[in-house]
Structure 1
Amino acid sequence: MKHVSILVPETAVSAAIVDPRYMFTAVNEFIKGQGRPPLFNVQLVGMTKEVRLNDGLISIHCDAVISQLLKTDLIIVPAISGHIEHALERNQALLPWIVDHYKRGAEVASLCLGAFLLASTGLLNGKSCSTHWLFANEFRRMFPDVTLTDDKIIVEHNGLYSSGGAHSYWNLLLHLVEKYAGREMAILAAKFFVLDIGLDSQSPFSIFKGQKMHEDLEIKKVQDFIETNYQDKITVDDLSDNFGIGRRTFERRFKKATNNTVVEYLQRVKIEVAKKQFELTRKTVNEVMYDVGYSDTKAFRDVFKKVTGLSPIDYKNKYNKDAA
């Protein structure tokens, strides 16, 4: 029997505790329905026997505290909420416990913003992970030694798993069910919970906000200029000349401040405007393409798909009510 320990951190998102428990206990019922013994021993584990969440509105009663649990096979790290750094401070006692059990053979899976807690252990240094796309910049700032692949729903590396934003963690749970219980059980779980078992990217759901949580005021002015003049043909040389910064220095400072190259940033701004037009207007793909400054249909389609994971027409059909 596989022992699954679902952590109950302070300031955790309650659904990210309840949902994994529901998934693994449901799979146990599926297996029992086939006349076989259950596969998972599922426990809620916290620093104390009772953890109050959502400003005290919800009380989680743990099956065990971390000091009592000597062996486990899989640790689920749920999403945390509120101010990230404060949440990490309140859960420091969990970090050595996670590291100890990982070194003793347990696998560890973080759900959404649980990646911040997992990364705080140091186990992800030099490795890749995913988290909610909205917190990508903050994650990169706090954990520069971790490679964030924020477009991915699931990232796996040496027994360390992470999921993308919000309810995409259901797909990581399906992935773990398939690993431990087989493809048949994963398909059954997907059908029971009405989940898309093939979902592998959160790019179609992301919104580009422009990375401005930095202190380089000149680069912020460049970003504002790009966002105001996205429909124009703007080159890196034009920007470096207009703002009086040598090209090499300009590119280095821009990358450091925004985590994007200048060309990537230009593309992301244009595509974000295109997405909004596809969502809210009846414009054709070509009309939107010209509006955001592209004249080459193939180039626009390729960049759009690279950023969103969908072709322009597929994106329009997915999000535009009239198109649907």
Structure 2
Amino acid sequence: MMKRRLRINFALEILRSNIQSIRSVSDWSDMMGWDRAEFSRQFAKMYGENAKAAYHRYKLKSIDKFFCAQPNAKYFEIAYDMGFRDEKAFYDYMRYHTTQSPTSYKKKLLANEASIGVTSRKSIIAKRKL
């Protein structure tokens, strides 16, 4: 049991460091050497959240960081750097997971950042539950 727990903890580190190249839970589980279904079960048992939800949360957090670090970046740059196939895939992902276009999502994120102040930039991103 302890060995599995360590492997699941390692899975989170793998996700954090390879979020741009991991496109799905299947990719993530393959990278870890697990069967996708077993990986999802063990992840849910350990964290009380399914692996798919965790993957999307980390992906959005990574996009938030990119928007804050490079607010003038073009969407094709963001799509390429975040591992999306093209701008359309990035746009569709943002619409599906945030119900907003990338432009409106970025405007709200940067407006929240400006209202809090530059010193609290990390707090905006930290508010997103890890």
| TM-score grouping bracket, smaller chain normalisation | 0.5 to 0.7
Hey, what does 2:83 align to over in structure 1?
293
- C-alpha contact 2:15 2:22 (8 A) present in aligned 1: no
Runs of 4+ with deviation above 6 angstroms: none
Within a 5 Å distance, the mapping from 1:56-71 to structure 2 comes to none
How many positions carry a matched residue from both structures? 108
Provide the C-alpha distance between the structure 2 equivalents of 1:262 and 1:314, rounded to a whole number of angstroms: 27
Hey, what does 1:302 align to over in structure 2?
92
**In percent, how many aligned pairs have the same letter?**
31
Provide the C-alpha distance between the structure 1 equivalents of 2:105 and 2:53, rounded to a whole number of angstroms: 20
Distance 1:256 1:228, change over 3 A: same
Provide the C-alpha distance between the structure 2 equivalents of 1:305 and 1:218, rounded to a whole number of angstroms: 33
Higher relative contact order (CA 8 A, sep 6+): 2
User: How big is the shift at 1:312?
Assistant: 0.8
Hey, what does 1:74 align to over in structure 2?
none
One-letter code aligned to 2:35: G
More helix by share: 2
**Whose radius of gyration is greater, 1 or 2?**
1
One-letter code aligned to 2:102: P
Provide the C-alpha distance between the structure 2 equivalents of 1:240 and 1:277, rounded to a whole number of angstroms: 25
Hey, what does 1:11 align to over in structure 2?
none
Provide the C-alpha distance between the structure 1 equivalents of 2:29 and 2:109, rounded to a whole number of angstroms: 37
Hey, what does 1:277 align to over in structure 2?
66
User: How big is the shift at 1:230?
Assistant: 0.8
Provide the C-alpha distance between the structure 2 equivalents of 1:302 and 1:278, rounded to a whole number of angstroms: 17
One-letter code aligned to 1:218: R
- C-alpha contact 1:270 1:293 (8 A) present in aligned 2: no
Hey, what does 1:228 align to over in structure 2?
17
Query: Which ranges in structure 2 are unaligned for 5 or more consecutive residues?
Result: 115-130
One-letter code aligned to 1:256: K
Deviations 1:84-133 (A, max 9, x none): xxxxxxxxxxxxxxxxxxxxxxxxxxxxxxxxxxxxxxxxxxxxxxxxxx
Distance 1:288 1:244, change over 3 A: closer
User: How big is the shift at 1:314?
Assistant: 0.6
More strand by share: 1
Provide the C-alpha distance between the structure 2 equivalents of 1:292 and 1:241, rounded to a whole number of angstroms: 19
SS at match of 1:271: helix
Within a 5 Å distance, the mapping from 1:166-205 to structure 2 comes to none
Provide the C-alpha distance between the structure 1 equivalents of 2:66 and 2:28, rounded to a whole number of angstroms: 26
- C-alpha contact 1:274 1:289 (8 A) present in aligned 2: no
SS at match of 2:52: helix
Query: Which ranges in structure 1 are unaligned for 5 or more consecutive residues?
Result: 1-214
User: How big is the shift at 1:219?
Assistant: 1.3
Give the TM-score, by structure 1 length.
Answer: 0.29
Please say if 1:256 is aligned against 2:45: yes
Hey, what does 1:125 align to over in structure 2?
none
Within a 5 Å distance, the mapping from 1:136-151 to structure 2 comes to none
Distance 1:230 1:252, change over 3 A: same
